[in-house]
Amino acid sequence: MSNLIVHGGTPLRGRVVPSANKNAVLPILCATLLTDQPLRLNGVPDITDVRKILDIFRALGSQVKLDETTRVLDLHHRDTRFDAAVHRLPEEMRSSIMLVPPLLARFGVARLEDNVKGCTLGVREIDPHVDIFRSFGGQVERADGSLLVRSSGPLRPTHHWLDYASVTTT
């Protein structure tokens, strides 16, 4: 950790504006699928995973308008549709797993590549997510290189103990 040492009798004044980060914005973006009402997000960071999530939204029929200068994002998921026969969440983006719960809640189904990779930290297993989906009452099938998760109704509350720490699983 770096140190900032200030010498002298001049008090510091100013303003610090924290930048947005992907660990906050990606779950927020995924949760927007839970409503069909228009939404506005301010300060959306310009990062690859955000662009990929927005591309997924567009492919599903959502209205996506991002002002590249102000980083203000307007979303409307009114016309969003998910067809498990057509749509698959991409394997190259670990955070696509966070789209599964809102897709289950809204459409009762989600399909993603079974070999979702990790990130620069390395490959991370998807099995803890599969365990969680099942624990909450989801039906999970593995076939043809994909993972199909279904729910015949609202997911049920549960108690579940993870074998190891996993940020996106919790």
Residues annotated as part of the active site:
119
Asked whether the beta carbons of 61 and 15 are under 8 A apart, the reply is no
Identity of residue 134: R
Q: What is the C-alpha to C-alpha distance for residues 25 and 42, in angstroms, rounded to an integer?
A: 10
Q: What is the DSSP-derived secondary structure letter of residue 89? A: B
Identity of residue 52: K
Q: Please, what is the Cα angle at 128 between 127 and 129, to 5 degrees? A: 90
Asked whether the beta carbons of 100 and 111 are under 8 A apart, the reply is no
Q: In 3D, which of 49, 32, 45, 41 has the Cα closest to residue 72? A: 41
Q: What is the C-alpha to C-alpha distance for residues 44 and 35, in angstroms, rounded to an integer?
A: 19
Q: In 3D, which of 87, 85, 105, 108 has the Cα closest to residue 96? A: 87
